[in-house]
Chains A and B, each alone.
Chain A
Amino acid sequence: MDIAIIVGLDIISGIASLLLISAGLAVIFGMMKIINLAHGEFLMLGAYTTVLSVSAGVNIWLAMLVISPVVVGLFGVIVERCLIQFLYGRLVDTMLATWGLSLVIVGATTMIFGNTIVGVASPLGGFSVGQYQTSLYTPFLAVMAILLMVLIWAVMRFTRAGLIARAVMQNPEMAATLGVNPAKVYMATFGAGAAISGLAGGLLAPVAGIVPTMGAAYIAKAFITVVGGGTSILWGLISASGLFGFINQIAAFLTTPVFGEVILFISAVILIRLLPLGISGKFFKGRL
């Protein structure tokens, strides 16, 4: 019985971490139909921001929840202004440019901070379920993932910015004729996507191995999750993360992590084959 609870928690944490590592990418893909291959490095920058803030004496919660998203969000806006804005409508060129950007970020981080950096410890302890122990940080991450989803939903649903965003998602030309300036929307979107990635990176800082190349471990999974989900930001992301996270964690628990990884990939391949436009292309068409 206890083990069932623990495995349940693992599944939730697997889903939550997929949600967190993919959310920023999903916002950018859903709104702008471009793939940001520097996404993993945005996560890394978020983690580095938290680590550096904490070692400068900042409270860890402040560092994770405020400083990381703000810093990486601002960085995203700069990237959009200096690079992405010249490449709209060119999916592949954007991918190449952001791949280049990811190399630049890794290289610059290595040159500035070296190959390793002192990490931060988890701010929460563990707790017991019967004879099993697990980290309080796990449910905390799940709560943060849920809050993030609710936040995205609320912004999209209730604010003027969300309304504009939805209009642009549906039909960019139409939105432009209504007096919305797509350039501003795109800048804001990219910044928001980067900020979410920064937040995710900050949240991962206490439980991840923090090195300049850490982004590479996340990008493929985030990419597969987002594309598997399709272009509907919220529902696509939630359904794909839920499915892949569940399959991955169950397989990893029952067999080995290698198999867990392989079966995640195989299920992604089958999913996209069955639903060539992602889950949301089939079931959540036109929704958030």
Chain B
Amino acid sequence: MSISRRSFLRNSAAGGVALAAPSLIANVARAADGPIKLGSLHDLSGPLAATGEPMVYATQLAVKEINESGGLLGREIELINYDTQSNIQLYSQFAQQLAVRDKVDVVHGGITSASREAIRPIFNRFRTMYFYNTLYEGGVCDRNTFNFGTTPAQTVEKLVPYAMDLWGKKVYIIAADYNYGQITAKWMRKYVEDNGGEVLSTDFFPLDVTNFGPSISRIQAAKPDMLLSAMVGGNHTAFYRQWVAAGLKDEIPIASTTFGLVNEPATLEAAESNGVLGSYGYFEELQTPASKAFVDAIKAEHGDKTPYINEPAAATYEAVHLWAKGVAIAGTADRMPVIEALETGLSFDGPSGNVLIDPITHHVTRNAYLAEVKDKAWNVLETFPDQQPLDTAAVCDLKANPNDTTHYEIDI
């Protein structure tokens, strides 16, 4: 797998010579032959590296597969990958580098919503197609952007009623104190109330909180039947450990939309994580042939060092393949034809099942899975096929407003 550092094809004609050059530079000067270029922007160092690493591996695998099967339109795909070092400024810098200097045909990347919002306008400005493949709060409405991760309507909607049937109606919500956590918490509340339950309280935690003692006491004081969690990141893992250490795991069970994203089932003791319910668009443990092949291929490449292969990894893999399919159908890697090809409702059978592009929202209809942690791994209990991105669909119609680029906060 070659990771090219940067383009050596410097196109001198496109270097903005005139001082009064128009601010929107149409990215037309791409070489018609030579490789098709795919840019990748993920954090490979710093706190977000644990999420970024499997996404890069999945990208590399997809590119390798396409190249080994003869490339795209007879051309090879060149992967240009930058480490954004968990630093927003570097997202902007490398996004400009990919769009303006490397002149890539497409970019896959971005992990947090903040990083996506930093780079999305850059790709719009420089007319570079963009795929965002992490699960997120929903609401991005942008014809230049395709969102492959699940949104709350796809997973929370399944998780909440399932858990409430199992455990009871009184729910306590804990979530990371940023947009994803806050919006997910709103969806949790909605689905709890839709299913006749009651939310006792909602607590938000900054990402650097490490001592959860007082919050655990508050939760106990409220006496919920269950806990819904959207906690995020390495520090928040401590919540589960302190929860278990207090002996509460068997008293008040937990369902989560984020537990397991950075490998919690494997890094926690079985006793600490058994019985936690989670819902994602993909689990490494899925036993379908496509899933097994995907996991085996990554493990073959990275051996013991392979991280947990999570939904963002699968979504990235599927996104790269679907983009390639769009290019093949369009007969060119140029942006608009590929977007139009994808908007015909292309689909791809990936490790998570069938993934279908929704032309109205540029999100995907995909399977959702519900699983329970058992002995340091996920045990997939339920499959909910073909979940539509209904949350974003409530606010976004790119057919009617093709020039919309808003990130909507969905009113619930």
Q: Which chain A residues have a beta carbon within 8 Å of chain B's beta carbons? A: 3, 6-7, 9-10, 13-14, 17, 107, 110, 114-122, 124-127, 131-138, 206-211, 213-214, 216-218, 249, 252-253, 256-258, 260-261
Chain B residue with Cβ nearest A3: B221
Known: A116-B262, A253-B214. A210 touches B267 (CB 8 A): yes
| Contact (Cβ within 8 A) A252 B245 | no
Known: A10-B213, A120-B269, A209-B234. A253 touches B241 (CB 8 A): no
What 10 A-B pairs have minimum CB-CB distances, sorted nearest first?
Answer: A126-B247, A209-B237, A211-B234, A121-B269, A135-B245, A115-B50, A122-B245, A253-B214, A252-B214, A10-B213
Contact of A214 among B221, B235, B307 (CB under 8 A): B235
The reply on B53 being an interface residue by CB < 8 A is: yes
Can you list 28 pairs linking A and B with CB atoms under 8 Å apart?
A: A3-B217, A10-B214, A13-B213, A115-B49, A115-B307, A116-B263, A119-B241, A119-B269, A119-B272, A121-B241, A133-B251, A134-B213, A134-B217, A134-B247, A138-B245, A207-B238, A209-B234, A209-B238, A214-B235, A217-B208, A217-B210, A252-B214, A253-B215, A253-B218, A257-B204, A257-B209, A258-B205, A260-B214
Chain A residue with Cβ nearest B376: A118
Rounded to whole angstroms, the CA-CA distance of A125 and B246 in the bound complex is: 7
The reply on B47 being an interface residue by CB < 8 A is: yes
List the A side residues contacting B221 at CB < 8 Å. Answer: 3, 6, 132
- 7 further interface pairs, Cβ-Cβ under 8 Å (given A115-B49, A209-B233, A217-B209): A10-B214, A126-B248, A133-B247, A133-B251, A209-B241, A213-B47, A260-B214
List the B side residues contacting A258 at CB < 8 Å. Answer: 177, 204-206
Within the complex, the shortest CB–CB distance from A196 to chain B, in Å, comes to: 18
List the A side residues contacting B204 at CB < 8 Å. Answer: 256-258
| Contact (Cβ within 8 A) B242 A207 | yes
Interface residues of B in 79-137 (CB under 8 A from A): none
Interface residues of B in 249-299 (CB under 8 A from A): 251, 262-263, 266-269, 271-272
Rounded to whole angstroms, the CA-CA distance of A137 and B210 in the bound complex is: 15
| Contact (Cβ within 8 A) A208 B210 | yes
Rounded to whole angstroms, the CA-CA distance of A214 and B271 in the bound complex is: 23
List the B side residues contacting A114 at CB < 8 Å. Answer: 305, 307
Chain B residue with Cβ nearest A253: B214
Within the complex, the shortest CB–CB distance from B225 to chain A, in Å, comes to: 15
| Contact (Cβ within 8 A) B210 A119 | no
List the B side residues contacting A206 at CB < 8 Å. Answer: 241, 245
Known: A133-B220, A249-B214. A209 touches B307 (CB 8 A): no
Chain B residue with Cβ nearest A18: B211
Chain B residue with Cβ nearest A211: B234
| Contact (Cβ within 8 A) B213 A138 | yes
List the B side residues contacting A117 at CB < 8 Å. Answer: 267
| Contact (Cβ within 8 A) B241 A122 | yes
| Contact (Cβ within 8 A) A115 B205 | no
List the A side residues contacting B397 at CB < 8 Å. Answer: none
Residue with the greatest number of chain B CB neighbours at <10 A, chosen from A17, A110, A209, A214: A209
Rounded to whole angstroms, the CA-CA distance of A277 and B245 in the bound complex is: 39
| Contact (Cβ within 8 A) B247 A216 | no
The reply on B236 being an interface residue by CB < 8 A is: yes
Known: A3-B217, A7-B214, A257-B206. A137 touches B245 (CB 8 A): yes
| Contact (Cβ within 8 A) B205 A124 | no
Known: A116-B267, A125-B247, A261-B206. A17 touches B211 (CB 8 A): yes
Interface size class of B (residues with CB under 8 A): 35 or more
List the A side residues contacting B205 at CB < 8 Å. Answer: 257-258
The reply on B46 being an interface residue by CB < 8 A is: yes
Contact of B45 among A110, A119, A135, A218 (CB under 8 A): A110
Chain B residue with Cβ nearest A214: B234
The reply on B203 being an interface residue by CB < 8 A is: yes
Contact of A216 among B208, B251, B271 (CB under 8 A): B208
Rounded to whole angstroms, the CA-CA distance of A135 and B47 in the bound complex is: 28
Residue with the greatest number of chain A CB neighbours at <10 A, chosen from B217, B221, B271: B217
Rounded to whole angstroms, the CA-CA distance of A211 and B49 in the bound complex is: 10
List the B side residues contacting A10 at CB < 8 Å. Answer: 213-214, 217
List the B side residues contacting A252 at CB < 8 Å. Answer: 214-215
Rounded to whole angstroms, the CA-CA distance of A14 and B238 in the bound complex is: 14
Rounded to whole angstroms, the CA-CA distance of A260 and B236 in the bound complex is: 16
| Contact (Cβ within 8 A) A134 B307 | no
The reply on B330 being an interface residue by CB < 8 A is: no
List the A side residues contacting B45 at CB < 8 Å. Answer: 107, 110
| Contact (Cβ within 8 A) A132 B220 | yes
List the A side residues contacting B346 at CB < 8 Å. Answer: none
List the A side residues contacting B213 at CB < 8 Å. Answer: 9-10, 13-14, 134, 138, 249
Within the complex, the shortest CB–CB distance from B344 to chain A, in Å, comes to: 39
Within the complex, the shortest CB–CB distance from B107 to chain A, in Å, comes to: 23
| Contact (Cβ within 8 A) B177 A211 | no
Rounded to whole angstroms, the CA-CA distance of A248 and B274 in the bound complex is: 32
Rounded to whole angstroms, the CA-CA distance of A59 and B58 in the bound complex is: 38
| Contact (Cβ within 8 A) A208 B238 | yes
List the B side residues contacting A116 at CB < 8 Å. Answer: 50, 262-263, 266-267, 307-308
| Contact (Cβ within 8 A) B269 A261 | no
List the A side residues contacting B177 at CB < 8 Å. Answer: 257-258
Known: A114-B307, A121-B272, A126-B248. A253 touches B217 (CB 8 A): yes
Within the complex, the shortest CB–CB distance from B218 to chain A, in Å, comes to: 6
Rounded to whole angstroms, the CA-CA distance of A264 and B203 in the bound complex is: 18
The reply on B244 being an interface residue by CB < 8 A is: yes
List the A side residues contacting B212 at CB < 8 Å. Answer: 257
